[in-house]
Structure 1
């Protein structure tokens, strides 16, 4: 080979080696840059991020070891039902369904029904306030007055009979009328004495009344489960002056002492019984008994022998205590819910009834079995009425309504629509756990009345018929609850109030 041919080949080989060296140098440079880039990126990451990347790497290694993705696919394949299985299941359900013959009405076919008739609904289920699990009422007939809060056989204290005999001696005392200024002054002097609060019954008080004796403050109260109690302020008998009896088995919604014989305390209950506590005979006599829930009563005669009794289902019964037995003379339906009846103090044939949303005055001599026409009505109530009472002369009627109004009507003339005299805004929404607030007249002052309050601090308030607030009774130490049930003493400067825990409070001078 000539030297001229070998020279180009040598140059070509040198060029090729040079290119290979350049490529290797370039590759090393790229690897070094990439490595430097990774190192720089890791240097920019925080310690937490580096730890997180390491945890992700370890989790991937663990999942690949247990072959989790493949296990998930196998589980889905095993649990997914085949289309043929779905269709077979649907067919089996349809096959199991039996075809029933079409129903045909016997009435349309003009055929008599051969089915067994349903048993009659028990009367207890028809009553509004009857419960399924209540205790049965006491058996008819007299009940012995054995107090349940003292030792059996202790008998009644002799002081009780002495208080009743004292009333007959002072019954003819004349009532002294006070002007409004003197009356307010007397109210301001009334406070709760040191022993003026006592737990007289076990449950919520539904009704309470003062005994008319003057030498001592003797009070009666009835609670939710039929207990009747007598409390003599400052007496040493019983427990703190309290004697307790189980006269009824449901709420004692109304009670009153007989004006003709103050040794008699009449009490009425939702259990359908009206009984007379005869202190002289030491028995609870049976006056009236029915299957319906009784709500209210009042005396229709001056000797307190005849009564008008109202039931929740709208029945008004005339009961004569002189008639043997515990039945009624007549029963008349007013086709409404009765919450209160009150007899005119002078004209005893008239009585006012607090109905659902109407207050009506009826004449007992013209009552009918149904559709009795009222002599007088009082309009303007938009919700249920809890009470309606005549004043001591019968010239006014005081109503308490759940529309948060206290109303006073002029009944000096019993015309068809009694005119409204005063309407007072007053919060009356006590709820289901408190007895309803009702306004009651002061028998010593015709134009003044008392009622409890939902306001704080707790109080008892006395109003004039014009709507003027005369006095608020407060006591931060002794009065801390709502006194829903209130009443004036018939002759002394005293007011009682009962609450939902069975306690009576007394304000006196």
Structure 2
């Protein structure tokens, strides 16, 4: 092994002091320095230190949206403050206000009711959607053409999925609240909603927009629920806290009104196979049945459930008259044919939660399972094949879901390609996304030191391809796939 040039130089520096007449202590100190430098050069510690510094300077992915240009802040020039004591003046007498100042919530300007043009806010004025993008979004859903996988093949597919720098992009400017995959198999096309009402579209590998990203703003508050219509794949439905539910139609290049209230919408699902009827839930514990074929943007009927809170609704995939509602500390399953205006009786109950429930979803093929995520740090799977009385608990998995106020809540979601498997983000320090079997077995953990360094609060699976997307607090999507 060759000597380090730096250590050789230090040896020469020490030798030149020997003839100067240094004391024995000083010569011993210089010899210790020489030996330490020689040891460090043998273990390459200095080189490792430089590599660590280089890693710390590593920037997040620059693909996707460019940096948001903000207006420069102009500060008023105030006169310099002078001491009253030095000016030989009496001190001012200050009196406290009689009442404490009240905090006012920031005002959000809601978009006007009615259709909105699809104007990409990250593109120049006059930009129009490309015919290639419209053709991609109009591809027929392949949901009925899924090939059945056994658990062994599914595990192998998970292990084959990777992430690269090209599979990370900034799709919205603020915190991710929702993510959805388009069912197309010719390209990976995703949508995501953020904290300030924006909806971003990302055609991975596409040339349209900023690295395939187009950004729109049909809402003014968090877009907490997104879904491409299984019946019309060129339509994307988005729901927001601002009380609006809109349908983005790429063929018409419009955001059409579907449902609108003053504020507080939380969740929705398709109540009919043709997606013409929707089940919409709000923060006040009410569930509305909305028929898109009816003129206007109101509901057909409104039903009060839990007056405290309502987090999630999920419709049974086969028997669509049944739907699950996450209410406070329990999940109830109702029959839409037997609903009353208030105090409706549930068909069965999923109990055992000790804190509020973030989400509850029927399994995608049979509906024989319900997957819940609860703030008591537990993911639960219930058997709902009987749909009577109190559904039995099958599996309980401990999982930290306490994200704090600056991250979206973690929610476990089913993989539509296999009935018994689901994915969820993680708060573990090695940032990751985990995939479990309904038995509680951990099937795979997605990690990547170079391209995954943040918590993936929101996750979504492609309905047919081996692809998983995770969204973080800065509006970036991270995609694991075996796409060639």
TM-score norm. by structure 1 comes to 0.73
Q: Distance in 2 between matches of 1:166 and 1:314?
A: 37
Q: Distance in 2 between matches of 1:368 and 1:135?
A: 34
In the other structure, the counterpart of 2:220 is 249
Further displaced range: 478-487 or 187-196: 187-196
1:345 to 317, 320, 327: 317
Cα distance change on mapping 1:171 and 1:375 into 2, 3 Å: closer
Counterpart check, 1:493 vs 2:457? no
CA contact (8 A) 1:459 1:482 kept: yes
In the other structure, the counterpart of 1:409 is 382
CA contact (8 A) 1:197 1:504 kept: yes
2:281 to 303, 310, 315: 310
Q: Distance in 2 between matches of 1:182 and 1:195?
A: 27
In the other structure, the counterpart of 1:376 is 348
Which residues in structure 2 correspond to 1:9-48 (within 5 Å)?
Answer: none
In the other structure, the counterpart of 1:364 is 336
Gap regions ≥5 residues in structure 1: 1-129
Which residues in structure 2 correspond to 1:194-213 (within 5 Å)?
Answer: 194-213=165-184
Kindly provide the CA deviation profile for residues 238-290 of structure 1, in whole angstroms up to 9, marking residues without a partner as x.
Answer: 01110000110000010100011011000000000000000000000000000
2:137 match: secondary structure: helix
CA contact (8 A) 1:438 1:484 kept: yes
Which residues in structure 2 correspond to 1:476-487 (within 5 Å)?
Answer: 476-487=449-460
CA contact (8 A) 2:191 2:201 kept: yes
Q: Distance in 2 between matches of 1:131 and 1:491?
A: 47
CA contact (8 A) 1:201 1:227 kept: yes
In the other structure, the counterpart of 2:11 is none
2:157 match: secondary structure: helix
Q: Distance in 2 between matches of 1:159 and 1:433?
A: 37
Counterpart check, 1:264 vs 2:245? no
1:504 match: secondary structure: strand
CA contact (8 A) 2:324 2:332 kept: yes
In the other structure, the counterpart of 2:368 is 395
* TM-superposed deviation, 1:377: 0.5
Structure with greater helix percent: 1
Cα distance change on mapping 1:131 and 1:506 into 2, 3 Å: farther
Kindly provide the CA deviation profile for residues 357-411 of structure 1, in whole angstroms up to 9, marking residues without a partner as x.
Answer: 0001011111111101111100100000000000021000000000000000000
In the other structure, the counterpart of 1:330 is 301
CA contact (8 A) 1:305 1:320 kept: yes
Q: Distance in 2 between matches of 1:171 and 1:281?
A: 24
In the other structure, the counterpart of 1:441 is 414
Q: Distance in 1 between matches of 2:315 and 2:104?
A: 31
Q: Distance in 2 between matches of 1:476 and 1:158?
A: 38
CA contact (8 A) 1:457 1:474 kept: yes
Counterpart check, 1:185 vs 2:156? yes
TM-score norm. by structure 2 comes to 0.77
2:180 match: secondary structure: strand
CA contact (8 A) 2:189 2:201 kept: yes
Cα distance change on mapping 1:435 and 1:157 into 2, 3 Å: same
Which residues in structure 2 correspond to 1:111-190 (within 5 Å)?
Answer: 132-167=105-140, 170=142, 172-173=144-145, 175-190=146-161
* TM-superposed deviation, 1:300: 0.2
CA contact (8 A) 2:164 2:451 kept: no
Q: How many residues are aligned here?
A: 379
In the other structure, the counterpart of 2:21 is none
CA contact (8 A) 1:193 1:508 kept: no
* TM-superposed deviation, 1:171: 5.8
1:471 to 444, 466, 471: 444
* TM-superposed deviation, 1:132: 2.5
Cα distance change on mapping 1:167 and 1:131 into 2, 3 Å: farther
2:161 match: secondary structure: coil
Gap regions ≥5 residues in structure 2: 1-102
* TM-superposed deviation, 1:131: 7.0
CA contact (8 A) 2:139 2:233 kept: no
CA contact (8 A) 2:143 2:464 kept: no
Q: Distance in 1 between matches of 2:207 and 2:440?
A: 41
1:187 match: secondary structure: helix
CA contact (8 A) 2:165 2:451 kept: no
CA contact (8 A) 2:435 2:443 kept: yes
Q: Distance in 2 between matches of 1:336 and 1:157?
A: 46
2:206 match: secondary structure: coil
Counterpart check, 1:295 vs 2:250? no
In the other structure, the counterpart of 1:232 is 203
2:255 match: secondary structure: strand
Q: Distance in 1 between matches of 2:442 and 2:460?
A: 17
In the other structure, the counterpart of 1:26 is none
* TM-superposed deviation, 1:179: 1.4
Cα distance change on mapping 1:417 and 1:217 into 2, 3 Å: same
CA contact (8 A) 1:167 1:214 kept: no
2:390 match: secondary structure: coil
CA contact (8 A) 1:292 1:313 kept: no
In the other structure, the counterpart of 2:394 is 421
CA contact (8 A) 2:244 2:263 kept: no
